[in-house]
Chain A
Amino acid sequence: MNAPEDIAAILDDMAGQLAAHVGKHGANAPAMVGIHTGGVWVAEQLHRRLQLDEPLGSLDISFYRDDFTRIGMNPVVQPSELPFTIDDRHIILVDDVLHTGRTIRAALNELFDYGRPASILLAALIERDGRELPIEASVVGRHVSLQPNEHIKLTGPSPLRLEIQQTA
């Protein structure tokens, strides 16, 4: 399978789905949070399209990973920035690729260490098979079928490009 090329069109579509989803669930004044690094790039695009009032937040989930004891910490950890209160807020959590679900698990734990959100909705640019946790996105840009030895990677921030890589 080839990597999707027209990312702008996918983002337009996601923004439409998000607006509908937020409206349907009455999630007033939502705040958006991207997960470092690719998720922040996607979130920047969606944030602009949705014209949200709250500034964009970002999470680096390195301190919340479940594999620290096996692979250690990332060499450079970006500080997480949530420039709004989490308590009672509707949060749109954004990542580039939803795969095992472990990144989202870590992000949820970190968000709860900042407060008690009213709700969290997950938006992923790409969804692929291989979930290891019961986590699904509410809004998905594209579903991509990949072999277990294939990875899809977002590069950016401008231009945003998707690449499928093979691992030996």
Chain B
Amino acid sequence: MIDIQDLNVVFGQGKQAFHAVRQVSLAVEAGQSFGLVGESGSGKTTVLRALAGLLDRVASVSGDMTVDGESLQQQRSKSFRQRVQMVFQDPYGSLHPRHTVDTILSEPARVHRLDRIEQRVVAALEEVGLDASFRFRYPHQISGGQRQRVSVARALITDPRIVLLDEPTSALDVSVQAEVLNLLMRLKREHGLTYVLVSHNLSVVAHMCETLSVMQNGAIVETMSVQQLREHNSTMPYTRQLLTASLGYDRGAIDAFEEFGS
């Protein structure tokens, strides 16, 4: 479904150049959920944005990307934009504050010249567990979890095949996180979606995905199955340290932490 070969992303030029993504290759099967994990600055979000075509104006992107049989050009095709949708991290920053939920949801439908927009909006809201009364509210009138549901509904409205999820629950309380993760799992089952999930939270990735790549300093350190992750079956010291750290505070283990080259 998704095939990325030797992706490189460089911000800036000359001496100022910053190599944010180095030689990243990955493949995601249709209907799979693929996780990208790493600490801040590891380049995981940049890979996602490069795939979505959000970086071409601000960075030099090179490498071959194929999505659903279509080899991606710098200018993404309209059908690509319909088939690939994204959900962003911050449910506060990613919804227009002066647009009602109805406007937010109907905009992508209008852009793609879809029919029956009103029915689509109501149906999308229902899919994410919000009733039609939410249509005429503004983002500031609903809670963080509800906003993230609206973001998911916005992604669904064009009937995509692939949804790119950038830390979709890291701004939410754990009880709300559970609801949103359950929602995402159900939608994936019902619509046969393919997910690429970026997260710093290994437990969330283990819950959602089948395969994951661990990133550090712009490169993929290791690609492994979630089963391997659960069994702590990793040969790479960086992954092992990340796993240890994810288990909680252990005074003894911390002294053994290493700095990994930056």
Is A bound to B? Answer: no
